[in-house]
Structure 1
Amino acid sequence: MAPVVGLYGIGGTYNYGCEAIVRGTAHILRAVLPDVRIIYVSPMPEYDRQMLFDLDLTIMPRTQHPKLSRPRLAAAVFRRTGIPRRYQPYYEDIHWIDLCDMVFSIGGDMYTLSMAYHLAHLAEIVRRKKKKFVIWGGSIGPLPTGDRQVLLRHFRSVDLITSREPETTRFLADHHIVDNVIEVADPAFAVSSGRLGDRYQKGRLLIGVNLSPLVQADIAKGDTKGTLRGQADFIVQLVERYKAEVILVPHVVSDDCVQDDDLRHLQAVFNLLPEVIATAVTVADTTGGYRAAKKILGGCDLVIASRMHCAINAASEGVPVLFVAYSQKAYGMCEYLYGNREWVIASECLLSGKGIGAVASMIDNLGIITKLLKQRMEAIRSDVFPARDRLLQLR
């Protein structure tokens, strides 16, 4: 009988990185398990059906039980009486688990957020139903506020963890979690156009820039206008110093989740640019999703990215990326991609000379980095499959 894998965790494909995770995971699963059936559990199923129309997926709605529903009320009573979490009702409708042989927890940040505790609860329910539970292609650590031992027990008990970068692998090893861990490429690396760009030095320097509201939140410290102005000044320096064209590339676009919307944030930065600079800057239209953004990023000489999957999207096309880190995961991914942490800056560096200094260093070495990255990408594309034997064992 064909195995059935459920994909659960992400908030929707309005975040193009989440779209890439689903696409890449489907590609990998079908290469390893050709007869696999895939169920993607989505909080916005109608939108995601449009974004993923070309994939053979069953998309099921992810819905929470109402606060005064029987499962939520029962869970509250169970918590107070000390009944173990694995026997408590889950806060969402999870009947879809019964259709699956394996459940993949997908999403790059899930185990650095409070959602991690819900995932630990879900895993206990899945395992009680004699199903397999896999933490697939994310970053782990630092852990969110709460009872860390709950999560550490969760990591030790799951059937498989695929770590997408060495920072996560080291974090788990430091807590003696090794036997069920394998390091693989982020599934988004499996979503490639199949070509490696070769635009360098074929005209005016074209720099792609992705700045997100998460960067703003990381550096604002109450001064929203000042930090927006600082990001605009960073763009001004790119144009003036290098006579560059700059394209601002949103990688999360949402009218429903405006606090996470790159497009609004980048438009706000663009609106602060002097008119003479704005003529060299464009806000890209990426409404077609991950692959639409890929075409734009693939035409750049250099990309400066705060969104992890925007960086992956560009790198998978052979375009050098400077990571802008608002969390620890960027350092691990930079190390995975380049073998060192030379090409990552903390988000606050955008507001100081360190940011433009890092760009200067990368541009000075752009030809060498481009050549090395193309070689590295050839290896990374095979790195998406090391979990093959483990998955076959779980089948």
Structure 2
Amino acid sequence: MNLLLYPHGGSGNHGCEAIVRSTIQLFSQYKTILFSIRPEQDYKVGLGKICIIEKESSPIRKISFSYLKAFLCYYVLHDKDAFEKIHFKPIISSITKDNLLLSIGGDNYCYGMPSYIYLINKICKRKQCKTILWGCSIEPESIKEDMLDDLKSYTHIFARESITYQALYEKGIRQVSLIPDPAFTLSCKNLPLPQKFTEFNTVGINLSPLIMNNEKINGITIKNYIALIRYILEHTDMQIALIPHVVWEQNDDRKPLASLYQEFKGTGRVVFIADHNAEELKGFIARCRFLVAARTHASIAGYSTQVPTLVIGYSVKARGIARDLFGNEEHYVLPVQSLQKEDELVKKFQWLQVHEKEIRQHYQAFMPQYIGKLNELKTKLNELL
């Protein structure tokens, strides 16, 4: 049996890469084929060494028999998926009862109707192929009609936090388990530290355009980050490492982080970490004293290496993961939509400082059994198969 992973936006999002790497590690007994939107990014970070990489789609050639067939199906038989079936032929042709399909996006159901996933699931159901929704987060209020029907079609769903799990269960979905995000098991690779990065006395800072797009007051997010860095420089002896985790052209963490670097590079206490693969980025995060993160998988890298972490969140995934780790998200997540004043991030960080020791003690006691839940997956998968 082969494991087919889809949809994958490309490893320029190192959270996507982290899910792929950790999933392959968990299910090493299977041959894995990764269907990707941007295979070149996956080869760049080395995923070609651990799985087969295929492009998930192919161009639609208008002068072809398949296009003529799709044209007739769409306009005569009213098959609304006719052209998508041509476009996504590479993955559709691989759907057989001998393969297990894992939908690995994590939050693909958080950004409107994922019509491509709906199509793949319909074909899988018709071919009696087993499907798993893997490590997902879903906003409870978005689970309506078409989405609910699609979710019910999965052989099994693994929710990565309890808010999503509870929402699915309340909607009548019973083929669901609560299991941590697989990236909690991602390996950590330690590269040499750059100058100005003092091991275990550096604050890792991650900022993304995505959370800035969700702010209610224009510019309030960057003002909070500037206030935080100024506070750290003036009131502590800690260094600061600016750490990007997504480098897609249209959604690149390096752009807002670069503006922060320009603001503070003259202090001699701020370092800008270049792009690296997910394991190497986790290695930098693991050697921080604190982490302030906008990206979910940057925060997971911090949590799983027991770094006291504050998340600037915008969705259910940040709240749900923090709630499962700490019992509540009050002190561990600052919703970007709630930002009103420029000192709110500083106040949250100060709480983290005061409670650093007890947070680390909690990690030591709680994290082994939390991550250990991922060991249940092999048993669960054998039951499903």
TM bracket, shorter-chain basis: 0.7 to 0.9
Q: Which residue of 2 aligns with 1:96?
A: 94
Contact kept? 1:65, 1:72, Cα under 8 Å? no
Partners of 1:355 and 1:84 in 2: CA distance: 51
- Give the % identical residues: 26
Report the CA distance shift for 1:350/1:96 in structure 2 as closer, same or farther (over 3 A): farther
Q: Deviations over 1:114-152 (max 9, x none)?
A: 3523212210111212211110111122466xx931110
Q: Which residue of 2 aligns with 1:382?
A: 372
- Give the TM-score normalised by structure 1: 0.85
**Where do 5+ consecutive residues of structure 1 fail to align?**
196-201
Instruction: Choose which of 303, 325, 345 in structure 1 pairs with 2:334.
Output: 345
Contact kept? 1:189, 1:380, Cα under 8 Å? no
Indicate whether 1:48 and 2:42 are aligned: yes
Q: Which residue of 1 aligns with 2:226?
A: 232
Partners of 1:194 and 1:281 in 2: CA distance: 22
One-letter amino acid matched to 2:261: F
Contact kept? 1:163, 1:183, Cα under 8 Å? yes
Q: Deviation at 1:229? A: 4.1
For 1:219, what is the secondary structure of its paired residue?
A: coil
Partners of 2:200 and 2:3 in 1: CA distance: 47
Q: Which residue of 2 aligns with 1:116?
A: 114
Q: Deviation at 1:381? A: 2.3
One-letter amino acid matched to 2:291: V
Report the CA distance shift for 1:83/1:54 in structure 2 as closer, same or farther (over 3 A): closer
Q: Which residue of 1 aligns with 2:194?
A: none
Q: Deviations over 1:287-317 (max 9, x none)?
A: 3311111111111111111100000011111
1:235-254 to structure 2, matched below 5 A, reads: 235-254=229-248
Q: Which residue of 2 aligns with 1:304?
A: 292
Partners of 1:390 and 1:151 in 2: CA distance: 25
Partners of 1:204 and 1:110 in 2: CA distance: 35
Contact kept? 1:138, 1:163, Cα under 8 Å? yes
Contact kept? 2:5, 2:103, Cα under 8 Å? yes
Partners of 1:268 and 1:76 in 2: CA distance: 49
Indicate whether 1:175 and 2:166 are aligned: no
One-letter amino acid matched to 2:251: D
Q: Deviations over 1:251-280 (max 9, x none)?
A: 1123xx2x311112211222233834xx22
Report the CA distance shift for 1:212/1:45 in structure 2 as closer, same or farther (over 3 A): same
Report the CA distance shift for 1:299/1:173 in structure 2 as closer, same or farther (over 3 A): same
Q: Which residue of 2 aligns with 1:281?
A: 270
Contact kept? 1:100, 1:131, Cα under 8 Å? yes
Q: Deviations over 1:6-26 (max 9, x none)?
A: 000120111111111001111
Indicate whether 1:133 and 2:123 are aligned: no
Partners of 2:14 and 2:181 in 1: CA distance: 14
One-letter amino acid matched to 1:92: F
Deviates more, 1:371-380 or 1:180-189: 371-380
Indicate whether 1:4 and 2:2 are aligned: yes
Contact kept? 1:229, 1:272, Cα under 8 Å? no
Deviates more, 1:186-195 or 1:329-338: 186-195
Q: Which residue of 2 aligns with 1:198?
A: none
One-letter amino acid matched to 1:59: I
**Where do 5+ consecutive residues of structure 2 fail to align?**
191-197
Indicate whether 1:269 and 2:260 are aligned: yes
Partners of 2:309 and 2:340 in 1: CA distance: 15
Report the CA distance shift for 1:4/1:204 in structure 2 as closer, same or farther (over 3 A): closer
Instruction: Choose which of 348, 366, 369 in structure 2 pairs with 1:358.
Output: 348
Q: Deviation at 1:79? A: 6.1
Partners of 1:262 and 1:174 in 2: CA distance: 36
Partners of 1:267 and 1:368 in 2: CA distance: 33
Q: Which residue of 2 aligns with 1:185?
A: 180
Contact kept? 1:160, 1:180, Cα under 8 Å? yes
Indicate whether 1:211 and 2:207 are aligned: yes
Contact kept? 1:205, 1:242, Cα under 8 Å? no
For 2:225, what is the secondary structure of its paired residue?
A: helix
For 1:140, what is the secondary structure of its paired residue?
A: coil
For 1:231, what is the secondary structure of its paired residue?
A: helix
Partners of 1:232 and 1:78 in 2: CA distance: 56
Report the CA distance shift for 1:264/1:387 in structure 2 as closer, same or farther (over 3 A): same
Q: Deviation at 1:42? A: 1.4
1:5-24 to structure 2, matched below 5 A, reads: 5-24=3-22
Partners of 1:350 and 1:384 in 2: CA distance: 38
1:330-341 to structure 2, matched below 5 A, reads: 330-341=318-329
Report the CA distance shift for 1:375/1:240 in structure 2 as closer, same or farther (over 3 A): same
CA-atom RMSD in angstroms: 2.9
* Matched pairs, number: 372
Q: Deviation at 1:92? A: 1.7
Q: Deviation at 1:228? A: 3.3
Contact kept? 2:140, 2:164, Cα under 8 Å? no
One-letter amino acid matched to 1:148: K
For 1:13, what is the secondary structure of its paired residue?
A: coil
